[in-house]
Structure 1
Amino acid sequence: MSTDRLAQLSEAGVSIWLDDLSRERLNSGNLAGLIRDKHVVGVTTNPTIFANALSKGDAYDEQVNELAARGADLDGTVRELTTTDVRNAADLFRDVYNATNGVDGRVSIEVDPRLAKDTEKTVAEAKDLWKTVDRPNVMIKIPATEEGLPAITAVLAEGISVNVTLIFSVERYEAVIKAFFAGLEQAKANGHDLKGIHSVASFFVSRVDTEVDKRLNAIGTDEAKALLGEAAIANARLAYAAFEKLFATDRWKALAEAGANAQRPLWASTGVKDPAYSDTRYVDQLVVKDVVNTMPEKTMDSVADHAEITGDTVSGKGEQAQAIFDKLSAAGIDVPDVFVTLETEGVEKFEKSWQELLDTVTGQLNKARG
């Protein structure tokens, strides 16, 4: 399969990260091959990814047996299994990390999603994960809930690199950027070298179309149906306009002069859910420099095979994107409610996946103990 299109995407300024990780990918050489052949320069994980990885095959059996023999409890076993994968992936990406001065070569691991509404416990868990993985190229994922915002600031203030996840609305994204600024200001005051702190803000894409399209179809008017499939890309383009606006302020310039790295937008949830749409739309319609696109391998293969990479498809489209949201509101879509619904569902999905992960590992521990 030609990787020319992936090369074009990379050359356009988009960092290609894989939205998946498993012991099987690491042991088989699959991940090393993606780095070598498909321009993959980072990895993101989440509770669903780990739940899937641990429920398949026997790649984790040996470590589970060792942990069972040592008397490890459930939470400790899950922590050991997941952080081992992240640490080994981080080692695999270390050359990329060095070659890009820490911009890429990143591997993200998420705090326990059950803590999404608890600021203090999120901060404690983030610090513990950072210490446990013990690699400079790890990023700790913190959800952009209201309780997550002060946690983002507090964790960055400790000099820890952060991937902010579960961002749906531009309003919340602007609050995330301000939490990032505050975190760097505190990190500087705490004596940390800002050059060593990196962050991305994960803006979820496809789920916006899924929710908005469902509501448009329920409304059923011609005006509503004309807007099907328009919301997600418009929302991401508005997010990029907010990124450009806030990273042109004097507050940011002062941080940049102190050595700070900009928090890059990251397009997440880029696998297409609706088969009526092009399976590369959340990649080739969101090409712009200084962003990350984290995609499932299936989407990556589709991009390599038939995406149309035509250069920047984001810059200067803010007004056009806002007009789409004006039309959505006029058609009867309660836009703020869409984003509240998506955030609530996002946290619930990750909590459910975490429980599935705990159930799987419980079964594996019981089997190992006979």
Structure 2
Amino acid sequence: MTDRLKALADAGVSIWLDDLSRERLETGNLAELVETRSVVGVTTNPSIFAAALADGERYDEEVGALAEAGAGVDLAVFELTTTDVRNACDLLRPVYDATGGLDGRVSIEVSPDLAFDTAATLESARALWAEVDRPNLLVKIPATTEGGPAITDALGEGISVNVTLIFGLGRYREVMEAYVAGLEKADAAGLDLSGIQSVASFFVSRVDTEIDKRLEAIGSDEALALRGKAGVANARLAYRAFEEFFTGERWQALAAKGAHRQRPLWASTGVKNPDYRDTMYVADLVVPETVNTMPEKTLEAFADHGEVLGDQVRPFYDDAQAHMDALAAVGIDYDDVISTLEQEGVDKFVASWKELLETVSGQLEQSGRKAQQ
């Protein structure tokens, strides 16, 4: 176990890997990362599965069986992805047990093309929860306006949820509200609140990508000096909102019944701009009671040269607010940035989903042709 990653974990940051494949599972790679890299969870998305299925021959046998059974592409994707996630849940079950259910979690996403359909999102969440059938699953539901009620209803049925695609502070507050409302529904239904977990996936690097582009279009020295700092500032203010929200009588009533606070999860933490430190979205967001889900490249970069310098969030609330004020002063419209990122986020996931469907469709056809030869 590397000292740098252990120090990060000791600082209260749960390290999750933002990747999964059958190869990682069957070669022991994921188990090794758990053993040597302090990895205590896994997140997935359609892009990750598309890459895994396109590159690996380890799916051929299951694809062949599905093709022989006449499975359509939607069912095939459902079966292939839930198999990987179930096996990852089993691998991480000792972590789940050791942490009282806090970690050892594996996330799988509802179909992204359902992002604006509340009823269909809830139906998809129920199907995934039932099929994987592991207590350490998290079902990913996007933080769209329509996703909010589905989040509440899923939690109300005891389904643990990873709320994804959060970019803005206003939306984040809505997500926390949806979480608490879900716990209240679960409590009213007589469910054990201690068994329900949730994280709120707050995206970081994409905020810098969008705001940097706008700052460069403005082009003044004052604007250019503000580049590369908005993602971290925005996330720090999200943590302030987290601390403010999970207090008071309403929350304390749920906490007394075993409810857990919905931890912020820093997502999109791979650095997009090569001019920036490759560990900045990890090192600059160290604070207790958070998750940082990283692509393996970022994980290994931090293991090699990342620094843990204590709490990098709570002492910097004023600095973060000052930075956001400075962005507004040079003409950056925060609400428009967030609206753009939310729409792009859904669009990208839908495109990845279509890519995944096309990949599996091609494999089913190829397997079918082989069977006929």
TM range (shorter): over 0.9
Structure 1 counterpart SS, 2:314: coil
Shift of 1:316: 3.0
Match status 1:115 vs 2:97: no
Residue identity opposite 1:250 in structure 2: E
Q: Which residue of 2 aligns with 1:24?
A: 23
| Cα root mean square deviation, aligned | 0.7
CA deviations 1:213-250 (Å, max 9, x no partner) are: 00000000011011001100000000000000001222
Shift of 1:297: 0.5
CA deviations 1:250-300 (Å, max 9, x no partner) are: 211111011101100000000000000000000000000000000000000
CA deviations 1:37-83 (Å, max 9, x no partner) are: 00000000011111111111211101000111111111100000000
Structure 2: stretches of 5+ with no match in the other structure = none
Q: Which residue of 2 aligns with 1:40?
A: 39
Q: Which residue of 2 aligns with 1:97?
A: 96
Q: Which residue of 2 aligns with 1:320?
A: 319
Structure 2 counterpart SS, 1:107: strand
1:71 and 1:249 map into 2 onto residues whose CA distance is: 55
1:341 and 1:209 map into 2 onto residues whose CA distance is: 13
Q: 1:287 to 1:176 in 2, by over 3 A?
A: same
1:208 and 1:173 map into 2 onto residues whose CA distance is: 14
2:306 and 2:24 map into 1 onto residues whose CA distance is: 25
Shift of 1:311: 1.2
Q: Which residue of 1 aligns with 2:3?
A: 4
- Relative to the length of structure 1, the TM-score reads 0.99
1:177 and 1:303 map into 2 onto residues whose CA distance is: 30
Q: Which residue of 2 aligns with 1:220?
A: 219
Q: Which residue of 1 aligns with 2:70?
A: 71
1:189 and 1:55 map into 2 onto residues whose CA distance is: 45
Match status 1:305 vs 2:323: no
2:261 and 2:331 map into 1 onto residues whose CA distance is: 37
Q: Which residue of 1 aligns with 2:271?
A: 272
Structure 1 counterpart SS, 2:298: helix
Q: Which residue of 1 aligns with 2:131?
A: 132
1:240 and 1:264 map into 2 onto residues whose CA distance is: 9
Q: Which residue of 2 aligns with 1:338?
A: 337
1:47 and 1:251 map into 2 onto residues whose CA distance is: 36
2:328 and 2:309 map into 1 onto residues whose CA distance is: 31
Shift of 1:133: 0.4
Q: Which residue of 2 aligns with 1:202?
A: 201
Structure 2 counterpart SS, 1:322: helix
Which 10-residue stretch deviates more, 246-255 or 219-228? 246-255
Residue identity opposite 1:192 in structure 2: L
Residue identity opposite 2:14 in structure 1: S
Residue identity opposite 1:246 in structure 2: F
Q: Which residue of 2 aligns with 1:285?
A: 284
1:118 and 1:276 map into 2 onto residues whose CA distance is: 40
Structure 2 counterpart SS, 1:369: helix
Q: Which residue of 2 aligns with 1:249?
A: 248
Q: Which residue of 2 aligns with 1:56?
A: 55
Identity across matched positions, percent: 64
1:269 and 1:206 map into 2 onto residues whose CA distance is: 6
Structure 1 counterpart SS, 2:40: strand
Structure 2 counterpart SS, 1:35: helix
Structure 2 counterpart SS, 1:317: helix
Residue identity opposite 2:108 in structure 1: I
Residue identity opposite 2:340 in structure 1: T
Residue identity opposite 1:357 in structure 2: L
Q: Which residue of 2 aligns with 1:177?
A: 176
2:315 and 2:140 map into 1 onto residues whose CA distance is: 30
